[in-house]
Amino acid sequence: MQTTTESHSLEVTGKTLTMADIGKLQPPFVLAPLPYPAASLEPALDAKTMEIHHDKHHQTYVDNLNKLIADKKDTKDLQTIITTLTGKEKGIKNNAGGHWNHTFFWTLLSGDKEKTKMPDRLKSEIESTFESVEKFKEAFEKAALAQFGSGWAWLYRDGSGKLAITTTGNQENPLMDVATVKGRPIFTVDVWEHAYYLGYQNKRADYLKAIWNVVNWVQVDAYDKEVTAH
Ligand SMILES: [Fe+2]
């Protein structure tokens, strides 16, 4: 039997999540633990960065979102919140986006060599769009570096189902009804300074190069299968 806390949180340890699982999260939102030990992504991402990023930054988005929606009777699950932002205050967009984006991001990282090996199906999808995995990485890094200030870089399926790369500012995400670029994300990298400053200072390019060592491609492949199935 589930406890109340479990029904509001996301247990990600040891299983492949779906995007639908993230969307079904209900208020009041609860910060789920990282799906792996904070030190397990070293040396690419150090434990202290992961702890502060998750325990402080992500927790703040969750707390702020709960406060902002506490008196709103029409508030439903996280998917509904991020897809019906028109007319809502900017704080809800920032904090609901912060919760969705970070929850998604944690699942996309792993120190497990079985998970960081790209499945053949995804490899061939990436090659058919970007020519090679290396060219995809170059294009992704270039876009992520060009994002001015805080934001996210995304690999997503666009309206025609094609794989594409984009970036968003602050906590915007392509699923939002108010997003500048809309689509179905399958992978993202947080390019806020809080994601890399302790380990890399201002060197975002070095952080981007290192993060490829800890991408959970098995999870990216699962998200891609999920979004292309609908
Ligand atoms: Fe972040």
* Architecture of the 120-228 domain: 3-Layer(bab) Sandwich (3.55)
Tens-place pLDDT, residues 140-190: 999 999 999 999 999 999 999 999 999 999 999 999 999 999 999 999 999
Task: Enumerate the β-bridge partners of residue 189.
Answer: 153
CA of 170 to the centre of ligand 1 (A): 9
CA of 158 to the centre of ligand 1 (A): 24
Residue ranges covered by each domain of the chain: 4-37+46-107, 120-228
In 3-state terms, what secondary structure has residue 129?
helix
Residue identified by tokens 């594409």 is 164
pLDDT higher than 90, residue 4: no
Tens-place pLDDT, residues 27-60: 999 999 999 999 999 999 999 999 999 999 999 9
CA of 192 to the centre of ligand 1 (A): 6
Tens-place pLDDT, residues 102-148: 999 999 999 999 999 999 999 999 999 999 999 999 999 999 999 99
CA of 37 to the centre of ligand 1 (A): 17
In 3-state terms, what secondary structure has residue 112?
coil
Q: Which fold has domain 4-37+46-107?
A: Helix Hairpins (1.10.287)
CA of 9 to the centre of ligand 1 (A): 19
- Give the C-alpha distances (Å, rounded to integers) separating 107 from 17, 84, 86, 104, 162: 8, 24, 28, 6, 23
Per-residue b/e over 138-163, b at no fewer than 16 CB within 10 Å?
A: ebbbebbeebeeebbbbbbbeeeeeb
